[in-house]
Amino acid sequence: MHQPLTQTQLTNYLDKINHTAFDPDQSLAPLLAVKEYEALNPLFRRLFCTRATSAPVGHVFSTSGLILQLHRSHISNSLLKNVSEMQL
């Protein structure tokens, strides 16, 4: 029975990265760009993409930017403690 192209390419890719000669420390980018795995490109893009940002990290940077402004240079320790407790 003939396997679908995607399944064949996935099997070949997994065989390649699990072979003893494969160096796991090498960049996968050249391997992922090989035409041999063309049917797997949507899967690769979804699995190996980097998120632009996450909401919690953006919130931390935004809040820290507000605290470090010149007009807030006289914030007391007790106020900062209250603010940090509110965010927990």
- Cα distances from 20 to residues 9, 11, 23, 49, in angstroms, run 19, 16, 8, 26
- Cα distances from 70 to residues 62, 73, 76, in angstroms, run 15, 5, 14
* Percent of all residues in the chain with a pLDDT value above 70, rounded to a whole number: 59
Write down the residue that tokens 């919130």 correspond to: 59
Q: What does the pLDDT read at residue 56?
A: 67
Mean pLDDT to the nearest integer, 2-8? 79
Which positions ≥6 away from 13 have C-beta within 8 Å?
Answer: 31, 37, 40
Q: Which range, 44-48, 53-57, 58-62, 76-80, is most confident? A: 44-48
Tokens (6 digits) for 69:
């402004």
Residues in the chain: 88
Residue boundaries of the structural domains of the chain: 5-47
72 has a pLDDT exceeding 60: no
